[in-house]
């Protein structure tokens, strides 16, 4: 077999002021400045087809299953019988795909502010959504998710917050604040749970993860932080489950495997009982940082990650 050609076109994902992650670009399929953000869909030599928003990789066909399974299933399996799910963001449709693996889910409302992103993903990333947008249980709306939750009287068993990092020019930063989490709490059923990505757990960039955890803890009785390695992100990534009563850390590996077998369709590639246990067993330095963090993110004092 001939060796692959050397790549002369590169995508550089800035992870911080002194760190970055490079990927060779094969083809750019879509590039557009939407009303809200810069969007690109490109084929890379290392991670396959990628969705890039405001210069940062959001998903790749090589490893998106890690991120989306980690985001969705710990919360859904901790709930006794989830029927109504609300998704904030999730333009690729992969979060929706994972939610719909659960036959108990009767209704999934997905609200994304950027219609152009969703429509481009629908066309160029079929491997990610796998037809989820066409499921009859789905309601897809192009609105401000925070305003939607403020104005509706409906309650949900699970709210999944699948949004990009909070950057000053982007549409997401007001979805990381104490005020938003208080709105989400009001829109949950008594057994309700929220799940979200909480930023990197890299040793040198823990502010976002720690501040999100502190902010959630100011609102919810139960907050369970965890992490997973998503290679295309270039850094380990943090998540959190917050709820009124149910704690996913109470589930044993055997119970997780049993619930996966009984309550989901298809085959998961990342998440099972052992992965669940490992994700919530945080290292000492990370637990210490969470315990020491004092910052609570608020509307009038938002947190912005490096961009």
Residue 214: how many CA atoms within 13 Å on its side-chain side? 19
For residue 306, the tally of other CB atoms under 10 A from its CB is 14
Q: How far is CA 270 from CA 95, 228, 278, 282, in A?
A: 14, 10, 12, 18
Tokens, residue 65: 């299953």
Largest interatomic CA distance in the chain: 61
For the chain, first and last CA: distance in Å? 40
Q: How far is Cα 68 from Cα 52, in angstroms, rounded to an integer?
A: 16
125-158 b/e with 16+ CB inside 10 Å = b? Answer: beebbbebbebebbebeeeebbebbeeeeeebbb
Structure tokens at 118: 């969703």
Give the list of residues 6+ apart from residue 93 with CB closer than 8 angstroms, or none.
118, 121, 122, 125, 128, 129, 130, 132, 133
The string of DSSP letters for 232-292 reads: GGSSEEEEEEEESS--GGGS-HHHHHHHHHHH--S--SS-SHHHHHHHH---HHHHHHHHH
Question: Does the annotation count 162 as an active-site position?
Answer: yes
From the candidates 114, 134, 162, 299, give the one annotated as an active-site residue: 162
The partner residues of 43 in beta bridges, in order of sequence, read 27, 49
What is the C-alpha to C-alpha distance for residues 292 and 43, in angstroms, rounded to an integer?
41
Catalytic residues: 162
């Amino acid at each position: 077999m001939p060796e692959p050609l050397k790549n002369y076109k590169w995508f550089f994902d800035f992870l911080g002021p002194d760190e970055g992650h490079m990927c060779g670009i094969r083809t750019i399929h879509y590039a557009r400045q939407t009303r809200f953000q810069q969007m690109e869909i490109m084929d890379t030599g290392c991670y396959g087809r990628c969705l890039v928003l405001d210069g940062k990789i959001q998903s790749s066909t090589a490893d998106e299953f890690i991120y989306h399974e980690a985001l969705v299933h710990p919360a859904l399996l901790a709930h006794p019988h989830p029927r109504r799910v609300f998704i904030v963001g999730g333009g690729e449709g992969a979060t929706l795909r994972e939610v719909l693996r659960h036959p108990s889910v009767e209704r999934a409302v997905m609200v994304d502010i950027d219609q152009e992103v969703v429509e481009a993903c629908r066309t160029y990333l079929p491997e990610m959504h796998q037809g989820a947008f066409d499921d009859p249980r789905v309601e897809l709306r192009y609105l401000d998710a925070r305003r939607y939750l403020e104005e509706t009287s409906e309650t949900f068993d699970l709210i999944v917050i699948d949004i990009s990092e909070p950057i000053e020019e982007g549409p997401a930063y007001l979805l990381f604040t104490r005020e938003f989490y208080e709105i989400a709490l009001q829109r949950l059923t008594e057994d309700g749970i929220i799940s979200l990505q909480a930023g990197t757990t890299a040793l040198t960039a823990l502010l976002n993860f720690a501040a999100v955890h502190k902010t959630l803890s100011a609102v919810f009785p139960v907050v369970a932080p965890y992490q997973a390695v998503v290679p295309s992100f270039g850094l380990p990534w943090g998540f959190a489950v917050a709820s009124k009563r149910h704690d996913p850390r109470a589930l044993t590996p055997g119970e997780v495997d049993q619930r996966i077998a009984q309550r989901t369709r298809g085959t998961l590639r990342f998440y099972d009982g052992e992965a669940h246990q490992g994700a919530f067993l945080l290292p000492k330095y990370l637990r210490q940082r969470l315990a020491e963090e004092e910052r609570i993110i608020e509307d009038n004092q938002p947190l912005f990650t490096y961009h």
